[in-house]
Structure 1
């Protein structure tokens, strides 16, 4: 009899197939005596350098900017002098290369977990670095995705960026992990590839190899032991859904014609370049988007020892402005801090970085960085003859909004807005819009700060579910402020890529939805099947629900 496991759906879609499990980490043998510390050190450093080289090579082949940035950050950790110094100290104290690497990674892992916030996410990166380097020292195969010779559902405790980045959607049908949250690497990269995914799934570790399962990445459910015939029917329906989604084109709108802009989240112009679409996802060139709703400029800054020059920034921004569909681009200024440490900023270490100097707050200590960026955006706009919309991350007060707007408009930037990522901004949305031209809601961070729940804490993943009524109420309040002011309010968190939740967001009054490319077609099709009145009914149902699961079950998608 089939059993249903529940987790957090982080990438919508349905799939079914046989389970293949990730191989476990390499096991350490008994410690061996060290007779030549220098030779042992050479072996350990060679293993770490090989790990760095492999991660860099994977980053170069990464299909999108998100994946590339994640892998580059991981290679930077593997090449960190502090980690290497710890390995050397362990070897000098008598440990062999494998145990020295294992203990050094464990030490730094504990430090990251103690730092909390987004730093805790980097602990999973250290686990992967440890596994790869130890396997290299011991001459074992590197950990990675299995290749059984047939399509499969990948089940793992967790997935590293290196595991996830080059997944073949033609072979991997869906992802299920025991750990992770809505903003984990698994979630980000699964959405980018259009793979259904469920994370924080209790009991996933007990699913046997080869078991037939179905995965519902929207509802966060994994049905175990369904049988081959049931799996074939689920695959047939999923394929029909994909074909139907691809048949709806044009601007986003409800069945009765209410317009909803459907926009892309990108990290660079490379995300807008044509590429071959995967079997279960669309490439950027195949997406009928109406512009870019979130251009994450921090990918230009990541892991830089020196700030990118104004000229380099102008070139990067101009490339996006020229390539963007419809010429509409919302540029987010540098979102530094927490999980995006930028060495050139020289920011002090913080006890709780998620509540510290991040986003717009960096301009308190390094105002010239924001000024240079705004100068570069303005120059890129003049070069391309476009009018970008520009917004700041982590705006909290009306004073911050007014200061940012003044600095942007002084450079000729006409459309100035802010990210709503903290409850304080949502509660004062009406006043913010007296200073600004638009708001964009970042649901990932707004969830984190609303529920006092670390985005990377797997045990608290349910609190970060975007169907939580408290989060939806804050979104509704922002949308109401936008209607009163006659100004747009969008959602650029990946919650926008949930086809059913998109109807709720539109019902709350959101005017645009911005997401990774694979989410555009399913969301467009979902909106086209619902009237504005039905969207408003869905919004009322979701706001009244006591928990996300209840909300999902109460709202049945129209077909």
Structure 2
């Protein structure tokens, strides 16, 4: 394929609304596996040492990272230390296969199994390949995949694993562009957490020459090669407007005074500092997986309580919504091996762990109960029925939690939201998983990203049904999926009756501006217009058409 012409625009899926203009730099690829490689004496020991080296290096990087990046690095380190993967590669070496070839073949087999399983395991294939590349590089004495930046650059890659991200000097990363991936994959989530402009699913980006100047615009979903002065000026002007908008630090709310708390999604207590700096009013989603993914044994009550107390202390009087462990057979824990499942995405995950590992659930609730304050809310993921909601509420309240809720991310729960809300104090919509389960579409399948669009009418209907249930019972209904980060979608959600919005800290300013630019009545009109459409693009267009001119001009929409 020939390189794009000057001023050509490549298209993809943007994460957030950031932009950047900088030369493009490519992540160093993995070294090739030697042809006709055969095993020699000592290769099994070298192979085992290589896996151990990579696992230790990833654990070290995880210890230096924060939030989602720390979580996925820890999980990748556990993957590198997986005895089954090492044993498979060693077995091949003992049968005469060269060590690098053995690693490639063993990983290929595991990747096939992960892809067949779907869900979270399918998302981990990129990380599995990262382990492969690092082990092979160590075996061959070659530099590990990555990129040493010398100037501020747009980083481009086929895909970017957490380990790749951890090697980057983030001060020099102007943006990230990948040819693969999806808007809810690891690269997108980490870029959102770090406030880095990002585009995924950009076909043709790998055909550019290193050093080529590009303008990336996440809001428009474009990568423009050799941008002209007019485009650069437009992006600079929009960035200046965004900076001005970020100066509004008042609590979230509509123009007629309806309060809508704007909260942040975090992965560790350390993320709270970044959220407060972005003027978050609290935390709407504290993912607690990091503590568990880094552990080789179940964390004790005291271990967990220390982490939760740290989060409470950093937030002060601000709200903290903690999601209990969202893991299971599809998010393997070193100390909680589940039986093999044919479809882990539909298996024992989230609160369903109470069926097989009740002590794990009760220990976490005891830790949360011991540190609970009036501003601490506790919720369970993957609840599908009122009975499950009732069981969780009973366990949580017995442990000392005072405000108890559940996630709505299964269509069955959205359809029975009123019955579920009778059992708990609040619910929070996880729109990423809700879209996945509603549209029967794996979040990894970037080519199906249009089906995962939160503007899909079926997804909007389920959100609206949940919000109606909350209004009927006068109970809070929040959204902590990243759809809340879309300023236009935020207006729709509030118009439906959603009472709080939680997102990556970098999205708060634009959403605050969106709400302040519209009344409650106008939000309701915008929501009704979106719900009346038959496809995602029409729903967003109908909503945008009813927004104020000042809003569209302010955000450059």
Per-residue CA deviation, residues 383-415 of structure 1 (Å, 9 max, x unaligned), is xx5452111111111111122222223344331
Per-residue CA deviation, residues 180-217 of structure 1 (Å, 9 max, x unaligned), is 12221101101011122221233434444444433332
Corresponding residue to 2:362 among 356, 371, 383 = 371
Aligned to 1:313: 304
| Aligned-partner Cα distance in 2 for 1:545–1:215 | 30
CA contact (8 A) 2:296 2:334 kept: yes
Q: Which moves more between the two structures, 301-310 or 113-122?
A: 301-310
Q: Secondary structure at the match of 1:419?
A: strand
CA contact (8 A) 2:9 2:225 kept: no
| Aligned-partner Cα distance in 1 for 2:36–2:145 | 21
Per-residue CA deviation, residues 62-86 of structure 1 (Å, 9 max, x unaligned), is 1x22111110111111111112112
> Do residues 59 (structure 1) and 59 (structure 2) align?
no
Q: Secondary structure at the match of 2:246?
A: helix
| Aligned-partner Cα distance in 2 for 1:409–1:253 | 31
CA contact (8 A) 1:165 1:189 kept: no
Aligned to 1:152: 153
Aligned to 1:421: 409
1:308 is displaced (CA, Å) by: 1.3
> Do residues 14 (structure 1) and 14 (structure 2) align?
no
> Do residues 41 (structure 1) and 44 (structure 2) align?
yes
Per-residue CA deviation, residues 438-484 of structure 1 (Å, 9 max, x unaligned), is 11000111011000011112222221122222212211111111111
| Aligned-partner Cα distance in 2 for 1:218–1:340 | 31
| Aligned-partner Cα distance in 2 for 1:261–1:324 | 15
> Do residues 138 (structure 1) and 140 (structure 2) align?
yes
Aligned to 2:452: 464
Q: Secondary structure at the match of 1:28?
A: coil
Relative distance call for 1:216 and 1:502 in structure 2 (3 A) is farther
Q: Secondary structure at the match of 1:410?
A: helix
| Aligned-partner Cα distance in 1 for 2:512–2:241 | 12
Q: Secondary structure at the match of 2:22?
A: strand
Counterparts of 1:236-247 in structure 2, within 5 Å, are: 236-247=236-247
Relative distance call for 1:482 and 1:59 in structure 2 (3 A) is same
1:41 is displaced (CA, Å) by: 2.4
1:226 is displaced (CA, Å) by: 5.1
1:419 is displaced (CA, Å) by: 0.2
- Residue ranges of structure 2 left out of the alignment (5+ in a row): 1-5, 546-550
| Aligned-partner Cα distance in 1 for 2:38–2:405 | 62
Q: Secondary structure at the match of 1:17?
A: strand
1:53 is displaced (CA, Å) by: 2.8
> Do residues 28 (structure 1) and 33 (structure 2) align?
yes
> Do residues 330 (structure 1) and 328 (structure 2) align?
no
Aligned to 1:94: 96
| Aligned-partner Cα distance in 1 for 2:227–2:288 | 47
CA contact (8 A) 1:290 1:328 kept: yes
Aligned to 1:297: 288
| Aligned-partner Cα distance in 1 for 2:287–2:223 | 36
Give 4+ residue runs of structure 1 displaced > 6 Å after superposition: none
CA contact (8 A) 2:107 2:132 kept: yes
Q: Secondary structure at the match of 1:462?
A: coil
Aligned to 2:3: none
Q: Which moves more between the two structures, 98-107 or 348-357?
A: 98-107
Relative distance call for 1:55 and 1:241 in structure 2 (3 A) is farther
CA contact (8 A) 1:20 1:146 kept: no
Relative distance call for 1:43 and 1:406 in structure 2 (3 A) is closer
| Aligned-partner Cα distance in 1 for 2:304–2:13 | 38
| Aligned-partner Cα distance in 2 for 1:256–1:15 | 35
Relative distance call for 1:374 and 1:158 in structure 2 (3 A) is same
Relative distance call for 1:508 and 1:17 in structure 2 (3 A) is farther
1:120 is displaced (CA, Å) by: 1.1
Per-residue CA deviation, residues 288-347 of structure 1 (Å, 9 max, x unaligned), is 121111122232222533221122222222222222253321121221225422232232
> Do residues 522 (structure 1) and 510 (structure 2) align?
yes
Aligned to 1:503: 491
Relative distance call for 1:267 and 1:343 in structure 2 (3 A) is same
CA contact (8 A) 2:411 2:462 kept: yes
- Residue ranges of structure 1 left out of the alignment (5+ in a row): 275-282
| Aligned-partner Cα distance in 1 for 2:238–2:163 | 28
Counterparts of 1:341-356 in structure 2, within 5 Å, are: 341-356=332-347
1:524 is displaced (CA, Å) by: 1.7
1:365 is displaced (CA, Å) by: 2.0
| Aligned-partner Cα distance in 1 for 2:453–2:9 | 19
Counterparts of 1:401-420 in structure 2, within 5 Å, are: 401-420=389-408
| Aligned-partner Cα distance in 1 for 2:377–2:26 | 45
CA contact (8 A) 2:148 2:169 kept: no
Q: Give the alignment's Cα RMSD to 1 decimal.
A: 2.2
Relative distance call for 1:517 and 1:96 in structure 2 (3 A) is same
Counterparts of 1:166-177 in structure 2, within 5 Å, are: 167-177=168-178
Q: Which moves more between the two structures, 330-339 or 154-163?
A: 330-339
Q: Which moves more between the two structures, 415-424 or 164-173?
A: 164-173
Q: Which moves more between the two structures, 164-173 or 118-127?
A: 164-173
| Aligned-partner Cα distance in 1 for 2:204–2:532 | 30
1:117 is displaced (CA, Å) by: 1.8
Q: So what's the TM-score if we normalise by structure 1? A: 0.91
Q: Which moves more between the two structures, 296-305 or 106-115?
A: 296-305
CA contact (8 A) 2:37 2:101 kept: no
CA contact (8 A) 1:11 1:190 kept: no
> Do residues 70 (structure 1) and 58 (structure 2) align?
no
| Aligned-partner Cα distance in 1 for 2:140–2:297 | 37
CA contact (8 A) 2:117 2:345 kept: no
Q: Which moves more between the two structures, 122-131 or 454-463?
A: 454-463
